[in-house]
Chains A and B, each alone.
Chain A
C-alpha cells in the first residue's frame, strides 16, 4: 500500500511519519508512537476510551485516520502534563484524583480529555451539562457519580 507523509504536532513536538492511508489515529498513537495511554474499548465508536484532542477538540481516535491529523496539534493523555518527577497534573487530572473519578483507569484518559474539551466550551458546566456531554464516554466502574463531581471541579465550578 502506498504511504502518506504526515506531519503533525504531537504533545507539543513536531512529528513526521509515513502512514498507510487506512491507519487509524489510535493505532498510529499506540503502535506507531508507543503512546499507550490512549485506549481501545470498542469497535463501534461508542466507548470513548480512545478520545484525544485534535486541534483542541476532543475526537475519538478510533474513528479518524492518522493522515487526517496533518498539520494539527494532537494532545494525548501523556501530553496533558509534564511527565517528570514532581511534575504537576493538569487541573482536570488533579480533579479526577481529588474526587476519586477513576477506579480501573481504563476509561480515564478519554474521560479527562473529553472533560477538558467540555470546560473549554462551557466553563463551569452544571451537572446536567456534564452528564449529557459524557454520552460518548462509557465507564463501567464508577457509576459516573465521582466523574461528574471531578469534571465540575476541574472546570472551576461544582462541588
Chain B
C-alpha cells in the first residue's frame, strides 16, 4: 500500500479551504446586479387560492417584481417531474398530479409556494413578501397515513380517489400465504417509521443567472446532482436545451438525500432571471427548510412473520401505508417501493415474502429520500419483528438470527423480492460486534445498573442494504426514468499531473481525497499531483450525482475505467519509446517497464511525450493523454453488518442514555478508513436521532409543530458516547474496486438496535412496545402504564 493509495487514511484534501473559511457554498456566491427573491408560502395546509393582490408589495421600496403561478403558467412553465414510474397491482400507472413551481389555485401544505417577491435587497424582498395579500379559502386537511386512507376522507387531489398514488406489491402472495398456512408460529407487529426532517446544516440556496449576451443561463444551487437538475429543469420545467443551461453545485453543506431533488425554488429563480435579465438569488431561512425540504420516512406498517418450531423463518407478509406528502417529489415513488420492498429479505433465508405498499397523498411536505431511503424502513421492520419472534418463542435473539442467516456459501443469493446479493458474511460481522460490544458481559453491567436504580438494555440488529441502484436497463424496466451509470474523465497533463472530472458530487464525503487516492494508487503518482473536479455541468460531461451511497462503487469505478484506458495508451507510447512490443510492457509503481528487463520509462515521461510527440507513434496514436468512461454497474452492491446499542434508562424520568454503540460493518473494500469511519459515525448519529429524538409533528390542521430547532430535536454532542466501529470485508464481486458503499449504513442499521435495547430494558418492567422516537416522555409514560400507574395517562389527557 502506498502512502496515498487505496487503504491509506490520507488526511482530506478539501479540509484546508473549509478550515480557513474559504469554502465556497452557494450562498457565498453573489453575482453582479443580483436581485433577491423571497417566497410567499402558504400559512395553511389546504386552501383554494381565491385571489392574490400584489399591489401593495409591488409598490414597496426596492421591489422589482412579484410573480404568481398564473405568470408561470402564462409562460408555459412545466411541473416538477417525478423520475420513477410505479405501477399499481392492477397494472395502472401511479397518479402523478402536476406539481407547478408556484401553485396557481390551490395550496396543499403549509409552506407551499404561492408567489415570489423579487427586490434589490433581501430585506426589501422580505418586507414586501408580507404585503402580498392572498385570499385563502380553507379546505379540509389530511395529515397522517391513517387520515388519508379513512373511508370518505377528503381529497388532496380531486382526481385521485382514496388519496392513493399507487397500490404496489412485490413478492409471491400465494407462496407466502401457503407458508403461513403451515407455520407453527405467526408473530405479528405493527410498526411506525417516524417522519423525519433531514436538516443538512447548510440551508438550500439557488441563484439563477441569465446572460442576455450569450443567451446562457446558469443556475448555482445546493444540489447533490447538478446534471440531474439540468436535465429535469431544462427539459421538463423551463424548456432550456442542455447546451444553454449550466448548473453549478459548488461546495454543498450536507445533503443526506434532501438535496437530490429538483425543487421549485430552482426553477423560480432561473425563470425569473430570464424574465428580468438580472441574477436572482434565493436562500432558505431554516424555518423555510423545515417546511420545504423534502421530508423522510413516514410509514405505517403491519408485519407478520411465519416460523416453524425450530424458529426457521417460513414467510414474511408486510402491508405498508407510505405518506408521499402533497406532491410526488423526484424519487418519491421509488423510495417506498424499490428501495424498501426489495430489502425485506434482510440477512435471512426467508423463502416467501409478500409486501404491499399503498402510497398516499396528504397535506404535508413531499416525502422523499433521506439517508437510507426505504432501507431503514425495511431494516427497522425486520429487526423489530425478529426480536419480537425471539421473545415470543423463547429463543435467544442472536441464535435466532444465526439460524436464519443466508450462509456464506449461498452467495450469490437470490431473494424472493427481486434482488440478488453478490456476497456477504453475516456471521463474521455479527461475531465481531458481539465481541467488540462485550455482549457476554452485559448481564453483569445490567446487574450493576440495577444497583444504581437504572434499567439497562442491550439491543442488536443485523441488516443488509443495497447501494448503487443498477443496472440502468433493469431499473428502466422497473420504472426508472433515468440512467444509473456514472461518468469520469481523467486528464493527464503534459508533466504527468492529473485532473479527474467526476459526475459524482461531494458534499461532505471527501471525494476530492478518495478519488485522488484511486488515481494515486493506479498511476503510482503522489496524491498532490491529482486534482478532482465535480459539481459543474460545464466541466463534467455528464453525471448522475451522489445519493444512495453510489459514488465510490459507481463513480469510483468510472474513474478506474478511465484510468485503465490511460494506462493502455501509455503502454503503447512506452512501447514505442522503449522499442518493445506493447504486450511486453508492464505498468507498476508509476513506471512502464519492458517485462523482465530494467528498461523503463516513468509515467510523467510518457505523458510528456504524448503532448510533445517528437518521438511518438503518430501513425497509430493520437497525441494527448486523456480518457473518458461511463460505468454502468452490473448489480446493486450489498453492504451489511451488525449494530449493537446499549442504553440505560432512568425509570423515574424516562430519560434514555445511550451508553455504548458498536457498529460492525461490511462495506466492501475501503479506500480511506478514516473517511469510512467518519461516514459511519455520522450515520449512527442520525439513526440514533431517529430512534430517540427526532420526529416531525403536524397538528390536525396541518400546522408544522416541529418547525425549528426549538422543537425539532437535533442530536447534540452530549447525546452520544464515542462510537465503536470496525469492519469485516467481503469485496463486492462485480465492480473493479470491490467497494460497496458506506454513506447510509449507520442510519439503516442502528435504529432497530436502539429500540431493541430500549425494549430489552423495559420489557422486564412490563412494557410491551414503544415507537420511535423513544423520548423520555414516551418512555416514562410507558413505564407508568406498565405499572398501572395512572400518572402518565392523567398528564396525557
Residues of chain A having any CB pair with chain B under 8 Å: 30, 35-44, 46-47, 49, 76-78, 80-81, 83, 87, 89, 93, 96-98, 100, 102-109, 112, 127-128, 130-132, 134-135, 137-148
Interface CB pairs A-B, < 8 A, 30 = A36-B28, A37-B20, A40-B203, A42-B708, A44-B286, A76-B21, A78-B21, A83-B20, A97-B16, A98-B11, A100-B674, A100-B675, A103-B678, A105-B15, A105-B17, A106-B202, A106-B253, A127-B722, A132-B718, A137-B717, A138-B716, A141-B508, A141-B678, A143-B681, A143-B683, A143-B684, A143-B746, A144-B717, A145-B720, A146-B678
B682 touches A112 (CB 8 A): no
In the complex, how many angstroms separate the beta carbon of B120 from the nearest chain A beta carbon? 13
> Which chain A residues lie closer than 8 Å to B24 at the CB level?
36
Q: How far is the CA of A118 from the CA of B695 in the complex (A)?
A: 31
Among A42, A103, A132, find the residue whose CB has the most chain B CB atoms closer than 10 A: A103
Assess the B19–A93 pair: CB atoms within 8 A.
Answer: yes
Nearest-Cβ distance from residue A133 to partner chain B, whole angstroms? 8
Contacts of A42 in B (CB 8 A): 286, 708-709
In the complex, what distance in Å separates the CA atom of A97 from the CA atom of B16?
8
Contacts of A141 in B (CB 8 A): 201, 254, 508, 678, 682
Q: B203 contacts which chain A residues (CB < 8 A)?
A: 40-41
Residues of A within 8 A of B678 (CB): 100, 103, 141-142, 145-146
Contact of B202 among A39, A46, A81, A135 (CB under 8 A): A39
Among A97, A128, A137, the one with the most B-chain Cβ atoms within 10 Å of its Cβ is: A97
Taking A98-B11, A138-B709, A140-B714 as contacts, is the C-beta distance between A146 and B21 under 8 angstroms?
no
A46 touches B25 (CB 8 A): no
**Nearest neighbor of A145 in chain B, beta-carbon distance:** B681
A144 in contact with B685 (CB, 8 Å): yes
Q: Which of B195-213 contact A (CB under 8 A)?
A: 199-203
Known: A106-B202, A108-B18, A144-B720. A138 touches B714 (CB 8 A): yes
Measured in the bound complex, the distance between the Cα atoms of B287 and A131 in whole Å is 26
- Closest-CB distance, B705 to chain A (whole angstroms): 14
The answer for the CA separation of A111 and B679 in the assembled complex, in Å, is: 18
In-complex Cβ contact of B21 among A97, A109, A131 (8 A): A109
Q: Which residues of A contact B700 (CB under 8 A)?
A: none
Q: Is B1 interfacial (CB 8 A cutoff)?
A: no
Q: Scan B496-521; emit 1 where CB is below 8 A from any A CB, else 0.
A: 00000000000111100000000000
The answer to whether the Cβ of B605 comes within 8 Å of any Cβ in the partner chain is: no
B723 beta carbon closer than 8 Å to chain A:
yes
Q: Which residues of B, 1-33, contact A by the 8 Å Cβ criterion?
A: 11-12, 14-25, 27-28
When distances are taken between beta carbons in the complex, the residues of chain B under 8 Å from A105 are 14-15, 17-19, 23, 251, 253, 508
Q: Which of B470-517 contact A (CB under 8 A)?
A: 507-510
| Residues of chain B with a CB closer than 8 A to A144's CB | 681, 685, 716-717, 720
B710 within 8 A of A: yes
Query: In the docked arrangement, what's the CA distance between A139 and B508, Å?
Result: 12
Give, as a whole number of angstroms, the nearest-CB distance from A82 to chain B.
Answer: 9
User: Do A146 and B19 touch (CB < 8 A)?
Assistant: no
The reply to whether the CB of B285 lies closer than 8 angstroms to some CB of chain A is yes
Q: Could you tell me if B18 and A140 are in contact, using CB atoms closer than 8 angstroms? A: no
B200–A135 touching, CB < 8 Å: no
Please indicate which of the listed interface residues A38, A41, A49, A148 has the most CB atoms of chain B within 10 Å of its own CB: A41
Contacts of B252 in A (CB 8 A): 104
With A100-B675, A103-B508 as contacts: A41 and B201 at CB distance below 8 Å: yes
A44 to B21 Cα, complex, angstroms: 23
- Minimum CB–CB distance from B227 to chain A (whole Å) comes to 20
Determine whether the beta carbon of A140 is less than 8 Å from that of B19.
no
Q: Which residues of B contact A134 (CB under 8 A)?
A: 716-718
Cα of A44 to Cα of B717 in the assembled complex, Å: 19
Contact B286 A39 (CB under 8 A): no
B221 CB within 8 Å of chain A: no
Residues of A within 8 A of B15 (CB): 96-97, 102, 105
Residue in B27, B507, B686, B722 whose Cβ sees the most chain A Cβ within 10 Å: B722
Residues A104 and B253 in contact, CB atoms below 8 Å apart:
yes
Contact yes or no, A102 B254, CB < 8 A: no
CB < 8 Å neighbour of A143 from B11, B685, B714: B685
- B685 x A104 contact (CB < 8 A): no
Query: Distance (Å) between the CB of B611 and the closest chain A CB?
Result: 27
Q: Which B residues touch A139, using CB under 8 A?
A: 201, 717
Bound complex: CA of A62 vs CA of B679, how far in Å? 29
Q: Contact: A103 with B23, CB < 8 Å?
A: no
A-chain residues with CB within 8 Å of residue B716 when the two chains form the complex: 131, 134-135, 138, 144
Inter-chain contact B11/A145, CB cutoff 8 Å: no
A134 to B286, CA, bound (A): 20
Give B250-272 as 1s and 0s: 1 = Cβ < 8 Å from A's Cβ atoms.
01111010000000000000000
Q: Which chain B residues lie closer than 8 Å to A40 at the CB level?
A: 27, 203
A42 shortest CB reach to chain B, Å: 4
Interface of B with A (CB < 8 Å)?
11-12, 14-25, 27-28, 199-203, 251-254, 256, 285-287, 507-510, 674-675, 677-679, 681-686, 708-710, 714, 716-718, 720, 722-723, 746
Q: List the B side residues contacting A89 at CB < 8 Å.
A: 16, 19-20
A-B residue pairs, 9 tightest by C-beta: A37-B21, A105-B18, A106-B253, A143-B685, A104-B508, A77-B21, A143-B681, A103-B508, A36-B28
Asked if A131 contacts B718 (CB within 8 A), the reply is yes
Which residues of B have CB within 8 Å of A137?
A: 717
Q: When A78-B21, A97-B12 are in contact, do A104 and B714 touch as well, CB less than 8 Å?
A: no
A30 vs B25: C-alpha distance in the bound complex, in angstroms? 12
Q: Which residues of B contact A76 (CB under 8 A)?
A: 21
Query: Would B708 and A43 count as touching, CB distance under 8 A?
Result: yes
Q: How far is the CB of A4 from chain B (nearest CB, A)?
A: 17
For the complex, what is the distance from the CA of A78 to the CA of B18, rounded to whole Å?
10
- A134, B507: Cα distance in complex, Å: 23
| B509 and A103 form a contact (CB under 8 A) | yes
Q: Closest B residue to A94 by CB, please name it.
A: B19
Pair A104/B20 contact, Cβ less than 8 Å:
no
- For B717, give its contact among A35, A49, A131 (CB under 8 Å): A131
Shortest beta-carbon distance from A28 to chain B in Å: 13
Report B-chain residues with C-beta under 8 Å of the C-beta of A37: 20-23
Residues of B contacting A140 in the complex (Cβ-Cβ under 8 angstroms):
199-201, 254, 256, 682, 686, 714
Chain B residues with CB below 8 A from A100, complex form: 11-12, 674-675, 677-678
16 additional contacts, CB 8 Å, given A46-B709, A139-B201, A141-B254?
A35-B21, A36-B27, A37-B21, A46-B710, A46-B714, A49-B201, A96-B15, A97-B15, A100-B674, A102-B15, A104-B200, A104-B252, A106-B25, A140-B714, A144-B685, A146-B681
Closest to A46 in B: B709
Distance in angstroms between the alpha carbons of A144 and B681 in the assembled complex: 8
Whether A106 lies near B12 (C-beta < 8 A) is: no
Contact of A138 among B201, B510, B683 (CB under 8 A): B201
Q: Which one of A43, A96, A147 contacts B19 once the chains associate, using CB atoms below 8 Å?
A: A96
A152 to chain B, nearest CB (A): 11
Most chain A Cβ neighbours within 10 Å, of B15, B25, B509, B675: B15
The docked-state distance in angstroms from the alpha carbon of A112 to that of B21 is: 11
Q: Please, how many angstroms separate the alpha-carbon atoms of A148 and B719 in the complex?
A: 12
**Given A43-B285, A148-B717: A106 in contact with B682 (beta carbons within 8 A):** no
By the criterion CB–CB under 8 Å, are A77 and B684 in contact? Answer: no
**Whole-angstrom distance between the Cβ of A54 and the nearest chain B Cβ:** 16
Minimum distance in angstroms from B612 CB to a CB of chain A? 29
- A108 CB, min distance to chain B CBs, angstroms: 5
User: Would you give the shortest CB distance from B511 to chain A, in whole angstroms?
Assistant: 11
Min Cβ gap A69→B in Å is 18
Once the chains are docked, how many angstroms separate the CA of A96 from the CA of B201?
A: 18
Contact between A39 and B717 (Cβ–Cβ < 8 Å)?
no
**Chain A residues near B717 (CB-CB < 8 A):** 130-132, 134-135, 137, 139, 144, 147-148
Q: Given contacts A39-B25, A148-B722, are A97 and B19 in contact (CB under 8 A)? A: yes
Closest chain B CB from A147 CB (angstroms): 7
